[in-house]
Amino acid sequence: MGHVRDRMDADLKLAGRSESTRKAYISCAKRFVKEFMRSPEELGESEVRRFLLGLRERKLAVGTYLKYLGALKFLFGQTLGRPEVTDRIPWPRMHRRRPDILTREEVARVLAAPKTAYWRVFLMTAYAGGLRRMEVAALQVRDIDSGAGLLRIRHGKGDKAREVMLDPALLLALRGHWREQGLRGPWLFPAKTRFGGWADHPVNLDRATAAFRSAADAAKITRRCTLHSLRGAFATHLFEDGIDIFTIQQLLGHERLETTGRYAIVRTDRIRETPSPLSKLPK
């Protein structure tokens, strides 16, 4: 893509998109261009439709398809100044799969399963604050406000900042983590150097994903789950404890209440334990 890629990246920065979104959109645009082996300036609506139909036929996950569509709408609408190319391509009505929420007992098993203390504390932090993996990786010492009992997320999704609760047990775990790992720099979860020391940048997110998968397998979790499932469990467990959905929305950093509502569900085990009013009818 060359100069178009640079322009698109600059436009995404001006639009306030996060680094992860910029990388994802540019990757999608490059995949589109590679499909036709021509500059995007020479491509139009017919190529976009053909490409997107191919994605639909492959039955990609909802989020993946929407990412491609969003990237192409941005590429043509903003960077190339040709919004007519994608204006008539609708956002699909696609039903998101109902999240499969981990029980508290399953979460406890996962948090106890990592082979190293480093990943045990990483996963504990993700669940305790309902954090995305990138938000855990980006945490620095200055983000811990022990006096106020808060954990500050400076660069969440969309580069939005927020605060979450700092559980006393998590604070103790983070302090022990800092001492035991011999950390010196600002990062709470830095990457390892090839010489065994600590790098001046956060741990790779793919390694975090692999660590969760290994822990879930060791904990014998058979249902479909990812590291993001700890965030979903955080939200649902708070909802079950009577925390109002607006507070949960703020803790998760969601702009739309509908997004939070996906987690405001009662697990089937709780449903099963709830007595039916039939048993209370007069005899």
263 carries an active-site annotation: yes
H-assigned helices in the chain: 3-14, 19-36, 45-57, 62-74, 84-87, 104-112, 117-129, 133-137, 168-180, 205-218, 228-240, 245-252, 257-261, 268-273
What CA–CA distance (Å, rounded) separates 93 from 62? 10
What CA–CA distance (Å, rounded) separates 232 from 101? 6
Of 157, 160, 207, 267, the active-site residue reads 157
* Residue where the block lists tokens 């480093």: 118
CB 138 within 8 A of CB 239: no
Residues in the chain: 283
254 carries an active-site annotation: yes
Q: Angle at which helices 205-218 and 117-129 pack, to 10 degrees?
A: 90
Of 17, 73, 162, 231, the active-site residue reads 231
155 carries an active-site annotation: no
93 carries an active-site annotation: no
Distances (CA, A) of 65 to 24, 53, 158: 12, 10, 19
Look at residues 25, 36, 72, 34 and name the one whose alpha carbon lies nearest to residue 52. Answer: 72
Radius of gyration of the chain (CA): 22
Look at residues 126, 106, 105, 115 and name the one whose alpha carbon lies nearest to residue 227. Answer: 126
Distances (CA, A) of 234 to 130, 137, 211, 229: 5, 18, 19, 8
Of 17, 132, 133, 237, the active-site residue reads 132
262 carries an active-site annotation: no
68 carries an active-site annotation: no
Of 154, 228, 262, 267, the active-site residue reads 228
How many Cβ atoms from other residues are within 10 Å of residue 193's Cβ? 10
CB 104 within 8 A of CB 210: no
Of 120, 133, 162, 254, the active-site residue reads 254
Active site residues: 132, 157, 228, 231, 254, 263
